[in-house]
Chains A and B, each alone.
Chain A
Amino acid sequence: MNGIAIKTAPGHGAPGAGSRGDGRPRRRSALAFVMIFLGIALFIQAAIVVQARPQDLVTGAAGIADILHRSWPPDFAGLPDALWPALQTIDMGIFGTVVALVFALPLALLAARNTTPARPVYYATRVLIALARVVPDLVWALIFVTAVGLGPFPGALAIVVHSLGMMGRLFSEVIEDMDMGPVEALTMTGASRLAVFSHAVVPSVLPSLLGITLYRLDENIRSSLILGFVGAGGIGFQLLTAMNLFQYRTVSMLLIITFIIVMGAERISAWLRARIA
């Protein structure tokens, strides 16, 4: 059934696309018609593929109410046991961000068109950064859990690799947008290439890079929560365990902690970013 729906979408589109060539004055409106038609067809096939059944929400409402009822009140007896995993989650984010920062900076210099020493280096680092970024951190975590075993360290490694990709890309964009005037001026003083980087490039871009890093820290703490679900420790792992044991009052307590961590990271990161701007 799904297969048929997918096939019908382009099938319906084809006659519309054909009418584009003739009838020049009506070309724009015909094109618009085809685009709208294709858009609707695209959405319908998406709804079929995800098996969207709104009626399930209605019948499921009772189930949701039941779960909410069973999660209330939050069970704070388990709070002391949750503090250590909570710290793990935060520290996975911090560790991952700091290590990624250390590697992202030189990598970005190689991957920015205006600072790269040679074309091949530029392409090689671009590919490396893209690879680190395109593979989701969850997948990196699965890989590292397999490689180094369960616990927070594989999660931290996953965050390092994924944010290295994100930060490497954003950093190199900042560097490419930088004013090259000071670089040229310092090159003319006879300073070495590295000295020009550290005295002209770094002071110019550092605030932007710190801003990106702080934003990334916030994102990383959030994603380290989720990484727990695949066995990378932290509060996410606690949450998964409690869910599997149907301890919904523990789940709601953990969700409150999660909420506090995420909101706290977001506020602190925003506050720090405002300070350095």
Chain B
Amino acid sequence: MSAPLIAVSGLAMRYPTGRVALTDTSLALAPGELVVILGANGCGKSTMLRCIAGMLKPTGGSVQVAGRRISSLAGRELAEARMALGMVFQNAHLVRRRSVVANVISGTLGRHRGLAITLGRLPESERPFAMTCLNQVGLTAFAEQRAGTLSGGQAQRVSVARALAQRPLALLADEPVASLDPDAAQELMGLLRRLAHDDGLGVLCVLHQPELARRFADRILGMKDGRIQFDTKPAEVKETEVAGLYVKTTETLAA
């Protein structure tokens, strides 16, 4: 296995409310690999992605992204380290009043720090590159349409294109298919796999569909109550192991 893109070790997260969302979680993500995380609601999947992305400060452990310890960075350094990570959320989070291509171009803002661009001008020089990103998700025909008028699946693909425009080394996707129909979900997972296998991106993806995970993942992580339960190849994951993730323990019932 090549050197990991993302290395998480002993990660712990305790929210100010006192809720412990992660306890001693470790994982590694290599380039070219699509890893799917499965787990019941509230088991800490989003918390983990947010810690990896530097959106949350973990209360213990460390996160290394491309060799930089992101969990101890702040400000400008954190912003620069984040550029290696493209994030895809459950909802597309597009700026609805802007055109599709404008949304994709805004994915490149980390690389452009001029005054005019900081004050709201789009870096027009990135337009051709944004179009190639849109091409990857098959939406060049929609470039000039307002983002607010897209269907959920189209919007989600645009958000992937925006993440790609960032030229990331890894993609973090939190339930990216939650609002998509089965066909669109397959299509998006296929896209993520292609980005991993053909373009060498590391992809870490949270899903609630074990079938999709088995079909598309190179590796499946099972999470329960803030811990990694198992970390295996899809072919080796037993049905009972997956079912066990969703069995309510007293702890999760209380939550």
In the bound complex, how far is the Cα of B117 from the Cα of A194, in angstroms? Answer: 10
Asked if B248 CB lies within 8 Å of chain A CBs, one says: no
Are B55 and A184 in contact, CB atoms less than 8 angstroms apart? Answer: yes
> Which chain A residues numbered 137 to 192 have a C-beta less than 8 Å away from chain B?
179, 181-182, 184-192
Asked if A17 CB lies within 8 Å of chain B CBs, one says: no
Asked if A121 CB lies within 8 Å of chain B CBs, one says: no
Asked if A198 CB lies within 8 Å of chain B CBs, one says: yes
Asked if B94 CB lies within 8 Å of chain A CBs, one says: yes
Are B109 and A199 in contact, CB atoms less than 8 angstroms apart? Answer: yes
Interface centre among B76, B109, B110 (most CB of A within 10 A): B109
Choice from B109, B117, B118 contacting A189 with Cβ under 8 Å: B109
Determine the main DSSP class of A at the interface with B: helix
Q: Which A residues are in CB contact (< 8 Å) with B95?
A: 182, 199-200, 203-204
Asked if B238 CB lies within 8 Å of chain A CBs, one says: no
- Report B109 CB to chain A, min CB distance, Å: 4
Interface centre among B95, B119, B162 (most CB of A within 10 A): B95
Asked if A202 CB lies within 8 Å of chain B CBs, one says: yes
Are A188 and B82 in contact, CB atoms less than 8 angstroms apart? Answer: yes
Asked if A78 CB lies within 8 Å of chain B CBs, one says: no
Are A204 and B79 in contact, CB atoms less than 8 angstroms apart? Answer: no
Q: Which A residues are in CB contact (< 8 Å) with B93?
A: 179, 181-182, 184-185
Are B107 and A182 in contact, CB atoms less than 8 angstroms apart? Answer: no
Are A198 and B79 in contact, CB atoms less than 8 angstroms apart? Answer: no
Are A189 and B120 in contact, CB atoms less than 8 angstroms apart? Answer: no
Asked if B19 CB lies within 8 Å of chain A CBs, one says: no
Choice from A182, A190, A191, A202 contacting B94 with Cβ under 8 Å: A182
Q: Tell me the count of chain A residues lying within 8 A, CB to CB, of chain B.
A: 23
Smallest CB-CB separation from B114: which chain A residue? A195
Are B89 and A189 in contact, CB atoms less than 8 angstroms apart? Answer: no
In the bound complex, how far is the Cα of B113 from the Cα of A195, in angstroms? Answer: 8
Interface centre among A182, A186, A200, A206 (most CB of B within 10 A): A182
Known: A185-B87, A185-B162. A192 touches B118 (CB 8 A): yes
Interface size on B, as a range, is: 35 or more
Are A189 and B91 in contact, CB atoms less than 8 angstroms apart? Answer: no
Smallest CB-CB separation from B115: which chain A residue? A194
Choice from B81, B86, B91, B106 contacting A199 with Cβ under 8 Å: B106
- Report A177 CB to chain B, min CB distance, Å: 14
Q: Which B residues are in CB contact (< 8 Å) with A195?
A: 109, 113, 117-118
Asked if A21 CB lies within 8 Å of chain B CBs, one says: no
Asked if A136 CB lies within 8 Å of chain B CBs, one says: no
Known: A181-B89, A182-B93, A204-B97. A188 touches B53 (CB 8 A): yes
In the bound complex, how far is the Cα of B113 from the Cα of A207, in angstroms? Answer: 26
In the bound complex, how far is the Cα of B162 from the Cα of A186, in angstroms? Answer: 9
Known: A181-B91, A194-B118, A195-B118. A188 touches B96 (CB 8 A): no
Interface centre among A187, A190, A194 (most CB of B within 10 A): A190
Choice from B79, B92, B98 contacting A192 with Cβ under 8 Å: B79
Are A203 and B79 in contact, CB atoms less than 8 angstroms apart? Answer: no
Interface centre among A185, A187, A192, A202 (most CB of B within 10 A): A185
In the bound complex, how far is the Cα of B13 from the Cα of A116, in angstroms? Answer: 25
Q: Which A residues are in CB contact (< 8 Å) with B159?
A: 185
- Report B75 CB to chain A, min CB distance, Å: 9
Q: Which A residues are in CB contact (< 8 Å) with B162?
A: 185, 189
In the bound complex, how far is the Cα of B82 from the Cα of A204, in angstroms? Answer: 24
- Report A182 CB to chain B, min CB distance, Å: 5
In the bound complex, how far is the Cα of B117 from the Cα of A8, in angstroms? Answer: 67
Are B110 and A190 in contact, CB atoms less than 8 angstroms apart? Answer: yes
Are B119 and A190 in contact, CB atoms less than 8 angstroms apart? Answer: no
Choice from B53, B92, B96, B109 contacting A191 with Cβ under 8 Å: B109
Q: Which B residues are in CB contact (< 8 Å) with A182?
A: 93-95
Residue contacts A-B, CB under 8 angstroms, 27 given: A179-B93, A181-B89, A182-B93, A182-B94, A184-B89, A185-B159, A185-B162, A186-B109, A188-B55, A189-B107, A189-B108, A190-B80, A190-B81, A190-B109, A190-B111, A190-B166, A191-B110, A192-B109, A192-B118, A195-B118, A198-B118, A198-B119, A199-B106, A199-B109, A200-B95, A203-B97, A204-B97
Contacts from A to B (Cβ < 8 Å) = 179, 181-182, 184-192, 194-196, 198-200, 202-204, 206-207
Contacts from B to A (Cβ < 8 Å) = 53, 55, 76, 79-83, 85-87, 89, 91-98, 106-111, 113, 117-120, 122, 159, 162, 166
Q: Which 3 A-B pairs have the closest CB atoms?
A: A190-B110, A181-B93, A191-B109
